[in-house]
Structure 1
Amino acid sequence: RSMDAAAAAAATAAGAAPDFMDSVTSPASGASFNLFSPDAWLAESYKALGYEKSEWRWVNGVSPLSTWREVGIGMALYLGTIFGIQFLMKSRKPFKLTKLAQIHNLGLTLLSLGLLVLHIEELAPIISKGGLFYAICSEEAWTQRLEVLYFLNYLTKWIEFVDTVFLVLKKKPLQFLHVYHHTLTMVLCFTQLNGHTSVSWVVITLNLFVHVVMYFYYFLASCGIHPWWKKYVTTLQILQFIIDLGFVYFCTYQLIISRYYPSSGLPFCGTCAGTEEAAIFGCSLLSSYLLLFIQFFQRTYSKKQAAKRQKQKTQ
């Protein structure tokens, strides 16, 4: 650090202000540390746990929860747990779980926000230097640093299973959309990690943004505050899936045409990274989400509006 101090003194003598960041050192390694970089803090967290973030890679069968067997067991445990609790709660009074719900919802709000900021930090230079097509289709756009974030996002889908546990303990009705969405979003994240689909960041960042809004709403509701904008959370989710599908259909089209029909005369921009299986599964699942959320919106809000208008007519 004596050389750093000398350099800073020389810069000051030359009329330039010393770089504050040069004086900050990593608490774990003593190396230069960017205080304002979320990724730097994440790397420090890894070091505190005894890992080197820059060396981590998703390896099927080696990384945690990286096999179809683990995913299948997770799905079975989730479904068995929620329906088992629902059965046991039939003759019992509902639990309130107010404090636990507040902690859970606020925790997921902050976790989603943190991951969103981390993704933006990584994606901004990729998009600005390579362009949007590069960012969603190039194999080089699937970076090691993004892979770490995709894995952390995948882990949050396991944490979100707790949402449903709270619902059944409070004896709230279980909707097919809720269970279907929670179960298969975890599978979607798993398949995209395996498939190395570079467009994954579009779906993930939009989902994280929606979850910041959604879990913050749930936190307020668990505090007894019921904002007027509940309806717009569902609207935001529908908009999310429309944008998702625009990107994933485009990328899947590029992938299939460039690999199998390059001489067909059909227009395409170039190839897209990822496996066909991951691309088709993503397209199919996100399409089903869009249809189910539109159906939910119509059933929940359109009927309420119709009933409200009918009530006004009879008054």
Structure 2
Amino acid sequence: MEQLKQLHFSPEQPFGLKLYPFFEKAYETVVGQKTSEFNYQSGVTPLSTVNEVTITCITYFIVIFGGRYLMTNLPAFKLKIPFMIHNLLLTLVSGFLLALMIEQIFPILYRQGILAAICAQETWTQPLELLYYLNYLVKYWELIDTCFLVLKKKKLEFLHYYHHSLTMVLCFTQLNGRTSVSWVPITLNLTVHVLMYYYYFRTAAGAKIWWKKYLTTLQITQFIIDLCAVYFCTYTYFVYTYWPFLPNKGSCAGTETSAIFGCALLSSYLLLFINFYRITYQAKKKHAAAMKQQQLNSDENHRLCAKKFFALTIFQP
């Protein structure tokens, strides 16, 4: 109760107390250096080169498709406890990263506005850069999701391994491109992942969760918001740079390559998730309607048979 009384809410402390100092202590304990010493450098920071990302993607596909082949004549593994631990940890890590990013970006949004928050070079701060990098590392961890699917002999959907592998690539390109709008897709992605990994954790324990359908809807909404933000930033950058006579809001921080790649990949995600929603839930709806009609037909047949039976019974000499 004493701690609650000491809470002070402000733009710099949207949660009532500063979370980043707790993170700094944990980071220094684990890594052995201060958070302020981190500086992402392509070719120097671990997993910051195209070769490392390419090798990881190739290894990922070899492992999942090779593993699926090796599992052909083997029984599926249960892996209930490891799967629950995996999802619980990802829920907690995603939630903590999300809270830290909100704490960093909210003062900028509050004091400077949305345009500065998504376009200004100053928005790419050192604390956010470290959080972006940690989020990027989590994408490597999330590749284990697919390994669980393989070992449990679950169906490998194209959307699953396409999304998992290329989201890692997307984080890599935006780190190298230093796109200030990065916080928009990252925070939305973390929000979805908190709910998604919590869902998998609970269902692995045997719980029945009713809101799975709405989770897919949330993912689609996430990509629509992402695209609005990145399309705007890309548009105003290119117009300001090459066609300044057209309406624009000035330049936007980030490289042209990272902007184009981000727009293209997020667009493909939106289309694929809409298609997944359409196939999955419309098919279920049609199946449910067919089953209902079948039940109605069955009930009608039973009613007619009963009617005939009673008619024969009454009029039988």
Q: TM-score range by the shorter chain?
A: 0.7 to 0.9
Corresponding position: 1:294 with 2:277:
no
Partner of 1:31: none
The separation in 2 between residues aligned to 1:51 and 1:229, in whole angstroms, is 42
Partner of 1:45: 26
Partner of residue 187 from structure 1, selected from 156, 169, 175: 169
Partner of residue 151 from structure 1, selected from 99, 108, 133: 133
Partner of residue 250 from structure 2, selected from 231, 247, 270: 270
Q: Deviation digits for residues 51-87 of structure 1, max 9, x if unmatched?
A: 1111211100010100000000110111111111111
Shift of 1:312: 1.7
Corresponding position: 1:281 with 2:261:
yes
Partner of 1:207: 189
Shift of 1:46: 2.4
Corresponding position: 1:167 with 2:135:
no
Q: Deviation digits for residues 237-290 of structure 1, max 9, x if unmatched?
A: 000001100101000001100111113xx2111111001100000000000000
Partner of residue 230 from structure 1, selected from 212, 225, 235: 212
Partner of 1:14: none
Shift of 1:226: 2.1
The separation in 1 between residues aligned to 2:199 and 2:257, in whole angstroms, is 35
Q: Which amino acid aligns with 2:138?
A: T
Aligned identity (percent) is: 55
TM normalised by structure 2 equals 0.87
Partner of 1:217: 199
Q: Which amino acid aligns with 1:267?
A: P
The separation in 1 between residues aligned to 2:49 and 2:22, in whole angstroms, is 29
Q: Which amino acid aligns with 2:20?
A: D
Partner of 1:7: none
Partner of residue 49 from structure 2, selected from 39, 44, 67: 67
The separation in 2 between residues aligned to 1:275 and 1:50, in whole angstroms, is 32
Partner of 2:98: 116
The separation in 1 between residues aligned to 2:287 and 2:154, in whole angstroms, is 23
Q: Deviation digits for residues 99-157 of structure 1, max 9, x if unmatched?
A: 00000000000000000000011011111111110000000011011000000000010
Partner of residue 308 from structure 1, selected from 269, 274, 288: 288
Q: Deviation digits for residues 12-34 of structure 1, max 9, x if unmatched?
A: xxxxxxx979xxxxxxxxxxxxx
Partner of 2:107: 125
TM normalised by structure 1 equals 0.87
The separation in 2 between residues aligned to 1:100 and 1:39, in whole angstroms, is 30
Aligned positions, number: 282
The separation in 2 between residues aligned to 1:177 and 1:159, in whole angstroms, is 18
The separation in 2 between residues aligned to 1:38 and 1:158, in whole angstroms, is 25
The separation in 2 between residues aligned to 1:144 and 1:54, in whole angstroms, is 7
Q: Which amino acid aligns with 2:44?
A: V
Partner of 1:258: 240
Partner of 1:32: none
Partner of 2:39: 57
For structure 2, the 5+ residue unaligned runs are 8-15, 297-317
Q: Which amino acid aligns with 1:218?
A: Y
Instruction: Tell me the SS of whatever aligns to 1:91.
Output: coil
Partner of residue 78 from structure 2, selected from 88, 96, 116: 96
Q: Which amino acid aligns with 2:249?
A: C
The separation in 2 between residues aligned to 1:204 and 1:58, in whole angstroms, is 17
Corresponding position: 1:245 with 2:223:
no
Shift of 1:169: 0.2
Partner of 1:27: none
Shift of 1:308: 1.1
The separation in 1 between residues aligned to 2:6 and 2:266, in whole angstroms, is 46
Instruction: Tell me the SS of whatever aligns to 1:213.
Output: helix
Corresponding position: 1:80 with 2:62:
yes
RMSD: 1.4
Instruction: Tell me the SS of whatever aligns to 1:90.
Output: coil
Where in structure 1 do 4 or more consecutive aligned residues deviate above 6 Å? none
The separation in 1 between residues aligned to 2:46 and 2:110, in whole angstroms, is 33
The separation in 2 between residues aligned to 1:310 and 1:47, in whole angstroms, is 60
The separation in 2 between residues aligned to 1:129 and 1:160, in whole angstroms, is 35
Instruction: Tell me the SS of whatever aligns to 2:75.
Output: coil
